Structure formats: structure tokens, C-alpha cells
Amino acid sequence: MLICHVVGARPNFMKAAPVLRALGQFNNVKQLLVHTGQHYDANMSDIFFQQLEIPAPDINLHVGSGSHAQQTAQIITRFESVIEENSPDLVVVYGDVNSTVAAALVCSKLGVRVAHVEAGLRSWDRAMPEEINRIVTDQLADLLFVPSEDGRTNLLREGVDPNKIHFVGNVMIDTLQRMLPEATRRIPANLPDRYVLVTLHRPSNVDDPVWLHSVLDALRSLSESVPVLFPVHPRTRKRLEDAGLASNGLLLMDPMPYLEFLGLQTRAVAVITDSGGIQEETSFLGIPCFTLRENTERPVTVTLGTNTLVGRDLDALRSGLNRVLAGEQKIGCVPPLWDGRSAERIATIIADSMEIDSGREARFASQQSGS
């Protein structure tokens, strides 16, 4: 049996790592790891492979940056040859990035089964490129692994066959739990006692210079009461430079490796973000999170976790942070099945489904030869 995994962008790597490891336990499974090259900077990609102990990709498609159409089209064209040359029995795609939907499209046209890890999440906001990627990938997938029960509800509403949907929990948390001891060891001794950690990279926050300016002003005024640490995504760095925006008062850093960033999250007094994964990680860690988005495809982080959506309301951000700094914070709980064993569940379901299929093929072949 050959299982092909497709990764491309930073948030894919921590999701694929535990699934690769769990499937590696099966003797009769061979794995092929394809990196699309969507993220290519060493600090957006290579360092994650090293820290998460992911084997080097067997194939790198080197697609790099471009418009959504260009990037998606390049992945489709180059990945088609990979499928034709290797004929995998199953392709596993992760999350909601352009690499995810591009690989799923190729497989569906070539009749190769697709498993989607982190299926069913919906922000109901089609202005988000990731929402389109999620909807299309889920329509094409044969096995859909949902991290929370709302994922199942969303998929059923969209007419997905209930037999394809499996509630397995959150693979990001598998990685977090495994890496937490090492992340804690790497926390620098000279960190301020209290600090707020910021990440922003979504087009809705960084592509509009007027809004980005207002956000920076809010962060600068926050930095008068508490240090603000801001590892900057390359896209955000470019937008800040293009708009000539000053960042005085803020501690801007390069994008951080997984372990160092996780370590910083554990000690933060609060996190401000527009990332999906960080909403989940802070909920698991019990750290207050303020999300600069109007919606989230991860509603359990709000209903059960420590996440608060502030949208474009910077006064709500200021007052929420002031409450946290005064010691008043939202108490959350860890969502069901975010227990570090999601990848094991996925591997078992995949293995079972492939045995069923090979059984079917064998029966089909014997019927053919008997007729």
C-alpha cells in the first residue's frame, strides 16, 4: 500500500508529522511525502521539518509564490505527474491551504482516494481564500477527519455521506503535547515577566494599509503597559514595508521556529492573532487569545476555549486586554478528543478502510476470473 502525503505551507507541517509517524507503525504501508514548495523560506519550512522530525520530502514541487490561480495551477500541473508516476492508493491532504485543494483536485480527476485531515471547519466567510479551499476539498474527499463535532454537522449540511466522516480530534494538539517539554526547555531566560505575543498575516488584516496602521497604533499603545513581541510573517513584513509603517515600541522578530514559538505562547499573558492554529493552541494551553477576525472556522475555541473574537473592534481588544492584565481572564476547557491521540485514530481508520478496499478488489478479481 502506498500512501502519499501532501504538505506545502507552515501550518501543514505540524498536522502531517503525527499522521506520518502513526502510519509508519504499519508494516505494509509505504509513505511518500510531497512538499509543494508553497512555503520555501528556511524559517517557514526547513526548520519545521527538523524540529518536528519529519523525514525530508521525497519530492519537492518548488511552486513558490504567485497569485492564487498561478500557485494552485502550478501545484495541479506538477502534482499530476507525481500521481501518474507513483500510483498511490491514498493521498492525505491537510488543512485549508492552496496545496490542499490543488492536490485534492488532481486526485479526484485521476480516481485516487483522498483523505482530508482537519475537514468540516467553516467560517461561513467566502472572502477568505481558505474557506473556498475547505469547501472544495471536503466535497472531493473520501475520508474526512474532523477535529470537533461542529465539523461533522457542517459536512452533513453540505450533503457529505455520513460514512465518510470521522470525528478524531485535533492532530495539531498531538504535536503540541509531544513537543511541549522541549519547547519549555527552550524558553529564553531573559524573557520579560509579562508580555503579549502577536501574529498577523491574513489578507483581511495586512493588505489594507489603513486598517494595518490602526492595528499597529493599538499595539503601540498596548506596548506602553506591557512588552509586545511580534514575530512577523514574510507577507506582513512586505506589507509593513510597502506601507512605510513604523513599528517603534514593538519587538518585531523574524518568523519563529515551532518550538521557540510554542515556548513563547506558554508564558504569554495573552496572544493576539489571526491564525487558525494559534486559536487552538492557546485554548489547549489556557492562554487568553484575542482573534482579529469577524469569524472563526474553529468555534470550539470560543465556546469551550479561551478565544475571544474581536473582529475590527479595537476598543474591544483594548478592554479585553486590560481585563486580562488586571488578572481577569476567560477560563476555558480542552475540547473533546484533543488528547494527543488523533493521529493514531486516523491511522487506524485509514488502515481499516484500505483493508476493506483491498478485500473488495480481491473479491472483485475472483468474481471476474470465476465468470
Which residues carry out catalysis? Answer: 201
The binding track of 129-168 with respect to ligand UD1, each residue x by CB under 6 A or -, is xx--------------------------------------
Start-to-end CA span in the chain (Å) = 28
> Judged by CB under 6 A, which of 31, 51, 74, 98 binds ligand UD1?
98
Separation CA 149–CA 172 (nearest Å): 16
CA dihedral 158, 164, 165, 169 (to 10 degrees): -140
Q: Total residues contacting ligand UD1 (rule CB under 6 A)?
A: 19
Least distance to ligand UD1, CB of residue 232, Å: 11
Q: Are strands 30-35 and 2-7 parallel, antiparallel or unpaired?
A: parallel
Q: Which of 27-35, 92-100, 222-230, 348-356 is the region at the interface with ligand UD1 (rule: CB under 6 A)?
A: 92-100
Of 57-76, binders to ligand UD1 (CB under 6 A) are 65
Q: How far is the CB of 43 from ligand UD1 (least distance, A)?
A: 8
d(Cα 71, Cα 57) in Å, to the nearest integer?
19
Q: Does 44 bind ligand UD1 (CB under 6 A)?
A: yes
Q: What does the alpha-carbon distance between residue 309 and residue 295 come to, in Å, rounded to a whole number?
A: 7
Q: Rule CB under 6 A: is residue 293 a binding residue for ligand UD1? A: no
Q: What share of the chain is helix, strand, coil (3-state, %, to 5)?
A: 50, 15, 35
Among 2, 24, 25, 41, binds ligand UD1 (CB under 6 A): 41
Cβ-based nearer residue to ligand UD1, 31 or 74: 74
Helices 209-222 and 234-242, axial angle in degrees (round to 10)? 100
Amino acid type, 113: R
What cell does 287 get? 492562554
| Positions 231 through 290 that interact with ligand UD1 (CB under 6 A) | 233-235, 238
Closest CB to ligand UD1 among 297 and 344? 297
Footprint on this chain of ligand UD1 (rule: CB under 6 A): 9-11, 38-41, 44, 65, 96-98, 129-130, 201, 233-235, 238
